[in-house]
Amino acid sequence: MFSSRYSQVFAALALSYFVLSATRLMLYLFYPSAFASLQNGELLLSLLYGLRVDTAIIFTFGGLPMLLLILPVNVLEKRTVRMLLGALWGTAVAAVFVINYADDLYFGFVGRHVMNELNVIGNDWDILVQMAFVAYLKHTVIALAAAVTIVYIFVRIFRTPPKPVASVRKAWGLAGLAVIALFLGIRGKVTGISFGVSDAFAVNKLASGNLALNGTFCLYRSGYARQASHNAVPFGKAVETAKQMLESEKTTFPDPEYPLMRRFRQQGDAPHYNIVIVMLESFSAKYVDAFTHNGFRVTPHLDRLAEAGLKYVNFYANGQRSLAGITAVFAGILPPYGMQSFGEGLELGGLSYLADIANANGYDTLSMQSSNRGSFRVDKLSSLAGFKHYYGAEDIPHTGTEQGHPHFGVWDGDMFRFLLTKLNEAKEPFLSFSFTATTHTPYRVPDDKYRIYPHEPNGRGGFLNTVKYVDDQIGAFMDAARKEPWFERTVFFFMADHCMGNDLRGAHMHIDANDTEILPQNHIPLIIYAPEVFKPDTVYTVGSQADITPTVADLLHWQQPFSSISNSLFDQSAEHFAYLSAGDISSLTEASAAVTYNGKHFMQSFGDANKTAALKHKLLGIDTAVPKLLQRTRWYKAP
């Protein structure tokens, strides 16, 4: 049929795209209401993003036979060999078709693509077999017949031996270009982290990502997840337990189909304060003297802000990685163990976002970080969360006196000066999020004046020196902000993303007074500073980063629905707790008590037996309710 090796490969490539596009078309035709929110331009753009998804799949699983079939090598030109390679390529495409077809059917049950479900299926393959050959026998026959047909057509395409190449040198050159094309197609990007689940959202709508993605891509790009059943208690009982933890005199649950989604009741006119959220890399509470009085002497500016503002001394990071902190602030949640992270598939369960709610209330929203734009995927996560403007190190000029270059992005001082510029340009009211980087290992400072401890690039001395530098930049930023007309209408939030990960004790360091505190590996500072709004106070309310969305919504009297596993720090009628995770370990704490759970068994507990027994009951409720609601897309209903 095709006599040229190139025409054969192009024909097989076109067939591959046709097969994958057909499963996307089926998805669209099966569930038109799921994509009704996409306007014409958004629909077309989402389909184009789908081609990027398909390219990654085709080039990943069909790349090797594709390359071998164009090489000018005698043995690869034999009819039998080419038919075998064609069958290999066709089998890969057929397998993708079957997975995507099954995923199309699965979509009808949960309103999203399959993610890690195959990783947690355990010994229940017999159930799948029964479903495939009893309840869905018709679909199984259709899928298998289509798969056989696909393989057959691929074999037919390569059954004719190709004509000899006119120029062997040119043929090898084309093969080299093919290798480059395969590499770029698999990565989906020239630079940065390779194209992932979160990158498939052409526009900030769940429908866009669902249309562009398919089951195969979600399964292999979302990462491996260990088995986690989240079935410790009955689902209905779990939801009721979690709901009781979220009840408040200020809130109501507007939709029984989304049992944990809440909204604040009418509280009067909205005050329209500006919100500035600063997330500090690796700032454990133990290093901020205003919180733990350890005498490290590296945070004088933060100490003054803490003493002049609201100082939350029982505040925790929801996780032990930056992504967990960003997820908690942006979406009020942390990924349940065994489920994908934000940006890798968690968003397909349907999340509520702080910036989206701010936008709905007329706020100008911006996000930035000192690191490069794509670091931790903050660029894409900010877009998914609804921030209108985003900036990374590539956008931030060097405007200070810092010498040399940091290991990551730009100096935090440059970011704070850039932040001030952008806040001055923003339309009030505004909400901003900024994330520092200089206190990330390996530690480097821009001037010897910050080397107040023996500098260890990967030890505590180096860390403390970078903290001193960042604290100075915070002081300069706040001094400049006080001169701006918007300052008196602005509420500042300072917190960490997590504690210092490699908490090494360098030379001349003493043992900390608070090393025996509850969950010290998650204890971070929170300072809410607004001298025109709040009187100074030390607050003992337990909280976590996930509390930020309900806290801001409460402060500003927003009434849009939201979902979070947390409560407003200002709501005295609500229960206050912190739900935390570290890998496969989850924890729940309420001030003087805490429990930890590994997905099967409870481990060490802190506090008296009555308190820890109650916390275990609550943790199991959260651990069951949250993942099940996400899997069933009943966590949050977008307006």
pLDDT band at 446 (very low <50, low <70, confident <90, very high): very high
Do 558 and 361 form a contact (C-beta atoms < 8 A)? yes
Identify the pLDDT of residue 224: 45
Query: Helices marked H in 271-317 — which ranges?
Result: 289-292, 300-308
The model carries a pTM of 0.83
Is 36 a residue whose pLDDT tops 60? Answer: yes
**Average of pLDDT values for 87-113?**
89
Which of 182-196, 279-293, 327-341 has the least mean pLDDT? Answer: 182-196
Tokens of 595: 């429990």
Backbone region of residue 266 per phi and psi (left: phi > 0; alpha: psi in -120 to 50; beta: other values): beta
Torsion over CA: 106, 109, 111, 114 (sign): negative
pLDDT band at 109 (very low <50, low <70, confident <90, very high): low
Place of tokens 């997820």: 327
In this structure, the dihedral spanned by the alpha carbons of residues 406, 411, 412 and 413, taken in order and rounded to 10 degrees, is: 150
DSSP one-letter string for 369-380: ESS-TTGGGHHH
Do 192 and 375 form a contact (C-beta atoms < 8 A)? no
Backbone angles phi, psi at 8, to 5 degrees: -65, -45
Residues near 80 by Cβ (< 8 Å), separated by ≥ 6?
A: none
Tokens of 412: 């935090």
pLDDT band at 505 (very low <50, low <70, confident <90, very high): very low
587 by DSSP, 3-state: which?
strand
Burial of 340 (0-12, 13-18, 19+ CB in 10 A): buried
pLDDT averaged over the chain? 90
Identify the pLDDT of residue 121: 46
In this structure, the dihedral spanned by the alpha carbons of residues 609, 615, 617 and 621, taken in order and rounded to 10 degrees, is: -170
Identify the pLDDT of residue 206: 78
Identify the pLDDT of residue 217: 92
Torsion over CA: 103, 105, 106, 110 (sign): positive
Identify the pLDDT of residue 516: 43
Backbone angles phi, psi at 412, to 5 degrees: -60, -30
Give the C-alpha separation, 174 to 69, whole Å: 12
The residue among 92, 94, 98, 91 whose CA lies nearest residue 26 is 98
**Average of pLDDT values for 345-362?**
95
Give the C-alpha separation, 204 to 46, whole Å: 11
The residue among 563, 518, 528, 526 whose CA lies nearest residue 543 is 526
Do 296 and 511 form a contact (C-beta atoms < 8 A)? no
Identify the pLDDT of residue 441: 85
- Tens of pLDDT, residue by residue over 567-625, are 999 999 999 999 998 766 899 999 789 998 888 788 778 888 889 999 999 999 999 99
Determine how many CB atoms are found less than 10 A away from the CB of residue 540.
Answer: 11
Is 511 a residue whose pLDDT tops 50? Answer: no
Backbone region of residue 524 per phi and psi (left: phi > 0; alpha: psi in -120 to 50; beta: other values): beta
Do 249 and 259 form a contact (C-beta atoms < 8 A)? no
Give the C-alpha separation, 290 to 302, whole Å: 8
Tokens of 330: 């942006």
Instruction: Tell me the domains of the chain and their CATH numbers.
Output: 5-221 (no CATH), 235-255+263-631 (3.40.720.10)
The three-state DSSP-derived secondary structure of 428-455 is CCEEEEEECCCCCCCCCCCCHHHCCCCC
Identify the pLDDT of residue 591: 78
Identify the pLDDT of residue 508: 31
Q: Give residue 551's identity as a one-letter amino acid code.
A: T
Task: Compute and round to an integer the Cα radius of gyration of the chain.
Answer: 27
Give the C-alpha separation, 95 to 101, whole Å: 10
**Bond prior to 627 in cis (omega within 30° of 0):** no
Place of tokens 């900030």: 204
Identify the pLDDT of residue 453: 96
Identify the pLDDT of residue 2: 78
Identify the pLDDT of residue 345: 87
Is 223 a residue whose pLDDT tops 80? Answer: no
Is 45 a residue whose pLDDT tops 90? Answer: yes
- Tens of pLDDT, residue by residue over 249-296, are 999 999 999 999 999 999 888 899 999 999 999 999 999 999 999 999
Identify the pLDDT of residue 117: 55
Helix H or strand E segment including 626 = helix 609-631
The residue among 426, 385, 363 whose CA lies nearest residue 556 is 363
Tokens of 498: 């997590």
pLDDT band at 168 (very low <50, low <70, confident <90, very high): confident
Identify the pLDDT of residue 108: 78
Number of H helices, E strands in the chain: 18, 16
